[in-house]
Structure 1
Amino acid sequence: MDIHTRIAQRLRELRDARGYSLEALAERSGVSRSNISLIERGQSSPTAAVLDKLAIGLGVALASFFDDGTPATEPPSPFIRAGDQPLWQDPASGYVRRRLSPPAPSPLQLVEVVFPAGQRVALDSAVHDADIHQQVWLIEGAMELTVGASTWQLQAGDCLAMRLSQPIVFHNPTRQDARYLVALATLPFQPTRRTP
């Protein structure tokens, strides 16, 4: 399955699972109803910033949009070959995301990112309906990560842990691409209970 089709399918699945109409998700995410509709029909390639807003509106990690749509007739595999790991490129910054984790369900997801020189991506990352923890381990290059009010300068080999409950800015201030591993651990989604 093509990555844009996967994103479209996952967005519909996540929205349907929560019982949100297009209007409800637009209100929760700040992404227009028409844009959500175009993404779900595979007619628009969303940026990382748009996917982040949708993830917040749905109460999931951004990584949820890249989960495998394995047919229900087959059990999800605990193994994935390098050539089958889905790649996605952010249309705005050009960063390339590779999902390393196999399709089998797990509370842990691994992602490899190649982040272009001089680029910056700002994510709200305030997922209020889920407890999501992330660690970034820099393999090559240098990155500047701003998590809430704190800024961290990462060099090759450095690792930074964070909870996705505040804005995060990824910035590569250098003239060469950076490569890093992201490990995400997520507790199951639990809808917020509203009292009358």
Structure 2
Amino acid sequence: MNVVLVEDHIIVRQGLKVLLETKAQVKVVGEANNGREAIELVQKLAPDVVIMDISMPELNGLEATKRILELCPKTKILILSMHQEKSYIKQAFQAGVMGYILKDAVYGEIRLALESLRQGKTFLGPSISQLILDSFVLKKGREDTSLDYLERLTPREREVLQLFAEKNTRQDIADALFISPKTVDRHRENIKLKLELSDEASFTRLLNLINSAGNSPPS
């Protein structure tokens, strides 16, 4: 997989490059300090993926994303940002990105994000997926105020739920979270129990709802 890194902080960019090339079997074919440089590089190199920051001088990552996808529609964009506000997430997906993770992401999360994009799937980091779950909980709460879904799930259970929604296998999830497949199964059963999902059909409906929200983040 050929990747272009777009990040105005050189130390962050260099660290990410080392991580990707040594552990993720990714070839970093270009680096840019801002959105304008990114557009030029993508036109020249046609990478598989662009890992893009949002806040940068001259041209921000969201505007650069729109232009890149106009010029190179086959290139996939993964946002790596400090911003976790819903407004940024919504704008990013409206611009056409396929993934959004935060800069404090662990290696396994970055690797899984790149693999998801390679397969043509959307990827959301755990903190981002929690926002989507929050929206689901609020909607569900209006229908049944006796249930507080959010407090029933631990942060790790939310991670597992989101990864299942993105159609990852139990082995994929185990690898990404550095746990065993049996532990993934246990989290799955705990989620179903806490959310009062009595059968696989109910669990699947929830996964489809979360996945749909991921493709069109809430405002």
Please indicate, yes or no, whether the TM-score normalized by the shorter chain is above 0.5: no
The structure with the greater share of residues assigned to helix is 2
The structure with the greater share of residues assigned to strand is 1
Q: Which has the larger radius of gyration?
A: 2
Q: TM-score, normalised by structure 2?
A: 0.29
Q: TM-score, normalised by structure 1?
A: 0.31
